[in-house]
Structure 1
Amino acid sequence: MDVHGNGAAETVQLKAVQKIYTRGDNSVAALAGVTLGFRKGTFTAVMGPSGSGKSTLLHCAAGLDAPTSGSVFLEGTDLGGLNEKQLTLLRRDRIGFIFQAFNLMPALTVQQNVVLPLQLAGRKPKKNYVQEVIQRVGLAERSHHRPSELSGGQQQRVAIARALATRPSVVFADEPTGALDTKTAREVLLLLQESVHLSGQTIVMVTHDPVAASYADRVVFLADGRIATEMQQPTAAAVAEQLTHLSDAVAAAPPVAMTGSV
């Protein structure tokens, strides 16, 4: 996989992206010139030691935060050329989000939660597709239940169905299994994997868990706001070993004053 991308084949591209936080006389590059591409129909995990820039990369790639310099493209659209309203519409129509917190509406049923993004966008939900997505995440028999009647794993399945219901170009997942037990986490990761391999979905997942990362096709490792290395067809053991090397290297480096959340 070429991290520099090749244009049309990339769903998301970051080109020389810098994100600098400044407070008083101190500044830190949360991202220090990252060039990276995510191809259609791939599952990429983003990992690195604390403060390496993982969340900042996700936020910039998803148009939630603007880079200090550099460019981010979604299917060829330069996000830097869009105003806030245009960015909001793009995120609503072409990007799906899955978070550690499920962010479901407690008064709505599973089905109502899944179709909510479509309704907010003024798009009429296609009933057959909505039912297909709910069935795909294993909740066909719970479609009229509310979140309080579901387990944590089932709630995360609803969040995945909601993210997929708009047929987004890319799904960004931020620690999606962080609040789940091992068995449930595995089921959720298999669902994400299935969405990539059977439906051609593009998924970018930030995680600290080597086991979660092993479900991805590729792992990109960050350190000090830069791409340190990447790994194809990862195993949990290989990922854990690489993380240990990166953490040791960061620990051995001189301390740097940090500002802002990275």
Structure 2
Amino acid sequence: MASVESPVRLDSVHKTYGSGESAVEALSGVSFGFPAGSFTAVMGPSGSGKSTLLHCAAGLDEPTSGRVTLVGTDLGGKSETALTELRREHVAFIFQSFNLMPALNVEQNVTLPMLLAGREPDRAWVDQVIARVGLSQRVKHRPGELSGGQQQRVAIARALAARPTVVFADEPTGALDTNTALEVLNLMRELVAAGQTIVMVTHDPVAASFADTVLFLVDGRIVMQLADPGVEAVASTLAKLGAQAKRARGQR
């Protein structure tokens, strides 16, 4: 794993979509370093720039201005090939759309990113991760034979099995029942304890309470941070910021 103090760093990152009258500023000068071996949740009202932050941090979207550093590499001016290689080596994603290969079974989907990166999967660890997300009985099933929640669990196992430096997760527990969601969040906590860095967008205060820090975004800016967040504190902060954002939009 790459040894970098902050494997993900944003410095004065702005992201504007469109131009002229129709321009929308999704991020307004975000600066933050995500420490190695930390679990950070990103929350905020709808349209606050959470997914844009995730996409810029992962090099999937290019900032309009500012700098993004991923595992010690400045992403500015990098070719798509160089970005793909960097992500393949160091990064895993858990998205709301599962992006599973329909022709491959559970086990093959989980090990595919490692094989593409030219690495031999650690079979014992792969089996353990598949067991932890509750799919040991389904390893030979294809995505079409699984429910939405089960497909999300395959996507989570795929991300975790590769032991990447950084995991970017967008609502990873959104499609899961409560018990599976807690199992997955506990597994993510264990990975953080082992030195991985997780950046998770979520609207769920329970999921956020598993993080070390919660960043609250409003209109593309980090307006608040909560360390060692409790469920109640997260929920009340989110409600307060949502009400403020609503009022502010009403006044424009």
Scaled by the length of structure 2, what TM-score is found? Answer: 0.90
The 3-state SS of whatever aligns with 2:23 is strand
One of 104, 111, 114 as aligned partner of 2:107:
111
Distance in 2 separating the partners of 1:150 and 1:118: 23
Distance in 1 separating the partners of 2:251 and 2:165: 37
Q: Does 1:69 align with 2:84?
A: no
Distance in 1 separating the partners of 2:241 and 2:83: 34
Aligned to 1:260: none
Distance in 2 separating the partners of 1:178 and 1:129: 25
Aligned to 2:91: 95
Aligned to 2:239: 244
* 1:8 positional shift: 4.2
Which has the higher mean CA deviation after the structures are superposed, 37-46 or 162-171? 162-171
Q: Does 1:234 align with 2:232?
A: no
One of 152, 164, 170 as aligned partner of 1:168:
164
Task: Provide closer, same or farther for how the CA distance between residues 81 and 24 of structure 1 changes in structure 2, counting only shifts above 3 A.
Answer: closer
Distance in 2 separating the partners of 1:229 and 1:180: 28
Task: Provide closer, same or farther for how the CA distance between residues 148 and 22 of structure 1 changes in structure 2, counting only shifts above 3 A.
Answer: closer
* 1:35 positional shift: 0.4
Cα pair 1:98 1:171 within 8 Å, conserved: yes
Aligned to 2:16: 20
Cα pair 2:39 2:198 within 8 Å, conserved: yes
Aligned to 1:31: 27
Distance in 1 separating the partners of 2:153 and 2:98: 9
Aligned to 2:201: 206
**Poorly superposed stretches of 4+, deviation over 6 Å:** none
One of 7, 23, 41 as aligned partner of 1:11:
7
* 1:105 positional shift: 2.1
Distance in 2 separating the partners of 1:60 and 1:205: 14
RMSD of aligned alpha carbons:
2.2
Q: Does 1:215 align with 2:194?
A: no
The 3-state SS of whatever aligns with 1:25 is helix
Distance in 1 separating the partners of 2:176 and 2:127: 25
For 1:100, give the aligned amino acid. Q
Aligned to 2:185: 189
Cα pair 2:43 2:214 within 8 Å, conserved: yes
The 3-state SS of whatever aligns with 1:253 is helix
The 3-state SS of whatever aligns with 1:212 is helix
Cα pair 1:156 1:188 within 8 Å, conserved: no
The 3-state SS of whatever aligns with 1:9 is coil
For 1:213, give the aligned amino acid. A
Any gaps of 5 or more consecutive residues in structure 2? none
Cα pair 1:45 1:207 within 8 Å, conserved: yes
Cα pair 2:133 2:183 within 8 Å, conserved: no
Q: Deviations over 1:70-105 (max 9, x none)?
A: 111112110114111101111222110001232222
One of 116, 119, 125 as aligned partner of 1:120:
116
Q: Deviations over 1:20-65 (max 9, x none)?
A: 1224423222111100111111111000011111010000000000
Distance in 1 separating the partners of 2:138 and 2:249: 53
Scaled by the length of structure 1, what TM-score is found? Answer: 0.87
Which has the higher mean CA deviation after the structures are superposed, 150-159 or 14-23? 150-159
* 1:187 positional shift: 2.2
Task: Provide closer, same or farther for how the CA distance between residues 89 and 58 of structure 1 changes in structure 2, counting only shifts above 3 A.
Answer: same
